[in-house]
Amino acid sequence: MLTKRVEDALNEQIKMEGLSSNFYLAMASWAEQNGYAGVSGFLYKHSDEERFHMLKLVKYMNERDGKVVIPAFEQPRSNYNNVKELFEELYKHEVAVTQSIGELVGVCLEEKDFTTHNFLQWYVSEQLEEEALAKTIIDKIKLMGEDKSTWYHFDRDIMSLTVTSAADGAGAA
Ligand code: FEO
């Protein structure tokens, strides 16, 4: 059983993850329309991952006999001036998701729901990685400037970019 507070907070997180999935899907489509095949592939994949984050919460709540609410999602932004602006938005959004996970973990502790608290540790680690990856991408973009050939390489290589979080003891690959 979940307490009402934990249930509400989990439903809020379901909304956040689904919103993230839609947000990145719109970003992926923008990138595809603008000729960034690699960036769009990266974002389509990221969108799928966010949907998986949402599903994982839905399944967990059902397992605990909670009442899942699948929310309506507001229409995400669909236009960007450039790839740098897009990734800055993505980074800001990931920071907000991390904060929301933190608040959810806090609610679980207050409600003494250690099972949900334990389940959420996966999300805590995932956020550490996702924030680090977004930050790595922004740092790379800042170093690139306007040169077309560096953008070509960036778009080609982005799919292979991974980050091992500080918790695992290594840096960006
Ligand atoms: Fe599932 Fe990137 O938040």
DSSP 35: T
Residue 8, pLDDT > 50, answer: yes
Q: Write down the pLDDT at residue 159.
A: 80
Burial-class residue 137 by CB neighbours within 10 Å (0-12, 13-18, 19+): buried
Q: Is 135 exposed, middle or buried (0-12, 13-18, 19+ CB in 10 A)?
A: middle
Instruction: Report yes or no on whether pTM surpasses 0.85.
Output: yes
Domain parsing of the chain, residue ranges: 4-160
Q: Using CA atoms, how far apart are residues 31 and 23, in angstroms rounded to an integer?
A: 13
Angle value at C-alpha 139, between 138 and 140, nearest 5 degrees: 90
At 39-77, the pLDDT tens digits run 999 999 999 999 999 999 999 999 999 999 999 999 999
Q: How far is the CA of 37 from the centre of ligand 1 (A)?
A: 22
Closest Cα to atom 1, ligand 1: which residue?
50
**In this structure, CATH architecture of domain 4-160:** Up-down Bundle (1.20)
Q: Ligand 1 centre and the CA of 13: distance in Å?
A: 10
End-to-end CA distance of the chain: 42
Closest ligand 1 atom, residue 101 Cα: 3
Ligand 1 atom 2, closest CA:
94
Task: For residue range 111-137, list pLDDT tens digits in order.
Answer: 999 999 999 999 999 999 999 999 999
